[in-house]
Structure 1
Amino acid sequence: MNATDLEFRLLNEFQRGFPLVAEPWAAIGAQLGCGTADVLAQLAALRDGGKISRVGPVFAPNRIGASTLAAMAVPTADLPRVAAIVSAFSGVNHNYRREHRYNLWFVANAGSEAELADLLGTMGAATGCPPISLPLVEEYHIDLGFDLISGRRTRHAVGLPAGRRELGATEWRLIHALHDGLQWQARPFRAVADAAGMSEARVLDTLGGWLDEGLLRRFGVVVRHRELGYRANAMCVWAAPEAEVSRLGHLLAGQDGVSLCYRRHSPGPEWPYTLFCMIHGHSRDAVEARRDEIAEAVGLAGVPAAVLFSTDCYKQCGARYRAPDAASPRYLSQSLPGLAA
């Protein structure tokens, strides 16, 4: 197998269905017909080249701790300063500039709803730009990986998000040990087990159980789609009628080209949109054309809408979860001017 074929198969086939065994790289090599060293060398090259962020868990939102999509309306000249402050919070894992009056968009995580509200308030005070919070209400299309052939995320229909589950101290230690993904060593789960104070077998059993109960969306390679050529990325939103939003959401999620389709809470008339999806493509024209086709097909053509293309990525990493009350929002930020330590 040449390097190009190996890269493609690692990227496309192991975003999900990753072997939860003591020696996963050897298992992947056996499946692909190559050696363990080849797998590890190619994964390291993909990470160093920015095409993947890590190999590790992707948790379902709001199953542990609390999270929300949030946005700020930032004066254009002030964006570099504000984006840097927002990205410095370890409770932020995605932070993008998008084309709209609300031009800075990020995902914030905390140990509880109260801590999340405090975190957002701290961000507003630090930046002078109070954020709006758009928490998840209903999911129609969840993240099971990004198909490199079709350019969309693997489809799996869902409905109302599952409830939050209380975790034990050992489970929280395991989550912390997995924040940065697996290490490039023959038995990576042994290193995770040592960090979490568990046995290797218990780590593997726990991860399998988390997948079965839906606490984990998936475990595997986490790709960066922009670095893989999908540089035209639009968040498409509609102010769908309350009585119709669920029906329209399920129809929208079933359309080719749509990924990450959700219903989110509207904070008020300043942001009236409740139905969200992402469309990824190689060109802006292609994304706009597909968006119009999809809107027409599902009955959204006449609904008030906006299209927000991403222009800059300030931060993209895995969510860093902490046990409730394990850290205050002040601890969740790096040292910043104007913020007390």
Structure 2
Amino acid sequence: MLATDLEFRLLNDFQRGFPLVADPWAAIGARLGCGAADVLAHLASLRDQGKISRVGPVFAPNRIGASTLAAMAVPTADLPRVAAIVSAFAGVNHNYRREHRYNLWFVANAADEAELAALLATMGTATGCPPISLPLVEEYHIDLGFDLASGRRTRHAVGQPVTRRGLDAAEWRLIHALHDGLQWQPRPFRAVADAAGLCETDVLATLAGWLDEGLMRRFGVVVRHRELGYRANAMCVWAAPDDQVSRLGHLLAGQDGVSLCYRRKRPGPDWPYTLFCMIHGHSRDAVEARRHEIAQAVGLADLPAAVLFSTDCYKQCGARYRAPDAAPPPRVGQPLPGLAA
């Protein structure tokens, strides 16, 4: 739990709308009635407690390179070994155990679709557990931060799908400089600019432009929900008919308590589900009760469904992107620069 109102406001108010100015800590302090040094000290403490992972960008899916949600059916006794192998790939940024026959779920990123397919194939060979891939088809509810007061994410209407665009060399350098978020020091954007070979003004202007065009979903504090008391979270899935999934998805996204909500490609008859959402709560019972209410309200109750509670987190960090002409990511057994501790 959070000890002070200041900590709560730091986490709740600055997951989005983070001030893109030369001294953001002072700008935040002015809004909270404290000094820049106090803001830095509290954020560092929250980081050390594991309640935040970083302060930095969250990019929109598939705007930079290619990504997918993937899953493996792993014998329970073999989960620690397989999870460690999967987490060791630099292209994996989230890796969880969930309650299902497909019990290991992770997000994989690569420079393009061909490299992503090769990455998944290599994982299957390395682990002996071929993954299924469930790429994003349609997104109904985008992530603009987790509301700690209500336990739901800030709702935002999804417009027309955006197309991937090429990035110039300066933009790639900036992305690489932001992989681990801002440094805990005065003028953090100056440090980012120095690392990227840019000037501070250009960094701030580029970040604001990325937000405006939708390349970057948000910039701000990235929280860890479990460490903040939301210890029960479930991926809820339904086998919605193809001609109804979009309508049902938009209805589902409008329900209180729903966080991420999207349609994913069906990989085959072994996994028939296409409509996904996440529900977070303080307890398993609360999540299950809310899921039942939502399914009844939206008209999902009679569809084939599954509820996959997360039980273990093996890896959670920001996605690590790279330019298409950069060296490919390391394989298992090679040095893995930049992995989260």
Common topology (TM > 0.5): yes
Q: Secondary structure at the match of 1:30?
A: helix
Contact 1:91/1:332 (<8 A) preserved:
no
CA 1:234–1:23: 2 relative to 1, 3 Å: same
In the TM superposition, residue 157 of structure 1 has moved relative to its aligned partner by: 2.1
The residue aligned with 1:68 is 68
In the TM superposition, residue 329 of structure 1 has moved relative to its aligned partner by: 4.1
Contact 2:70/2:105 (<8 A) preserved:
yes
> Does 1:264 find its partner at 2:264?
yes
Alignment of 1:1-341 (within 5 A): 4-159=4-159, 161-330=161-330, 334-335=334-335
Q: Secondary structure at the match of 2:4?
A: helix
Contact 1:140/1:261 (<8 A) preserved:
yes
CA 1:332–1:186: 2 relative to 1, 3 Å: farther
- Work out the CA distance in 2 between the residues paired with 1:205 and 1:72: 41
In the TM superposition, residue 160 of structure 1 has moved relative to its aligned partner by: 5.2
CA 1:327–1:82: 2 relative to 1, 3 Å: same
- Work out the CA distance in 1 between the residues paired with 2:195 and 2:242: 47
Question: Structure 1-normalised TM-score?
Answer: 0.96
Contact 1:230/1:282 (<8 A) preserved:
yes
Question: Structure 2-normalised TM-score?
Answer: 0.96
CA 1:161–1:127: 2 relative to 1, 3 Å: farther
- Work out the CA distance in 2 between the residues paired with 1:22 and 1:115: 37
**Cα deviation 1:145-166 (Å, max 9, x = unaligned):** 0000010111112155311111
- Work out the CA distance in 2 between the residues paired with 1:201 and 1:3: 36
What are structure 1's unaligned runs of at least 5 residues? 337-341
CA 1:39–1:205: 2 relative to 1, 3 Å: same
**Cα deviation 1:273-322 (Å, max 9, x = unaligned):** 00000000011011011101100100000000000000000000000001
- The amino acid that maps onto 2:113 is E
- Work out the CA distance in 2 between the residues paired with 1:198 and 1:107: 31
- Work out the CA distance in 2 between the residues paired with 1:124 and 1:326: 24
CA RMSD across the alignment:
1.4
In the TM superposition, residue 47 of structure 1 has moved relative to its aligned partner by: 0.4
The residue aligned with 1:339 is none
- Work out the CA distance in 1 between the residues paired with 2:256 and 2:334: 41
- Work out the CA distance in 2 between the residues paired with 1:107 and 1:258: 20
- Work out the CA distance in 2 between the residues paired with 1:75 and 1:187: 49
CA 1:96–1:129: 2 relative to 1, 3 Å: same
- Work out the CA distance in 2 between the residues paired with 1:159 and 1:302: 29
- Work out the CA distance in 1 between the residues paired with 2:109 and 2:283: 31
- Work out the CA distance in 2 between the residues paired with 1:43 and 1:114: 39
- Work out the CA distance in 2 between the residues paired with 1:196 and 1:332: 28
Q: Secondary structure at the match of 2:97?
A: strand
Q: Secondary structure at the match of 1:193?
A: helix
The residue aligned with 2:339 is none
CA 1:298–1:69: 2 relative to 1, 3 Å: same
Contact 1:137/1:160 (<8 A) preserved:
no
Q: Secondary structure at the match of 2:163?
A: coil
Contact 1:138/1:159 (<8 A) preserved:
no
Name the % identity: 87
- The amino acid that maps onto 1:77 is A
- The amino acid that maps onto 1:81 is R
Contact 2:85/2:332 (<8 A) preserved:
no
Q: Secondary structure at the match of 1:266?
A: coil
Q: Secondary structure at the match of 1:120?
A: helix
Q: Secondary structure at the match of 2:141?
A: coil
How many positions carry a matched residue from both structures?
335
Structure 1 consecutive aligned stretches of length 4 or more whose deviation exceeds 4 Å: 331-336
In the TM superposition, residue 252 of structure 1 has moved relative to its aligned partner by: 0.2
- Work out the CA distance in 2 between the residues paired with 1:221 and 1:332: 31
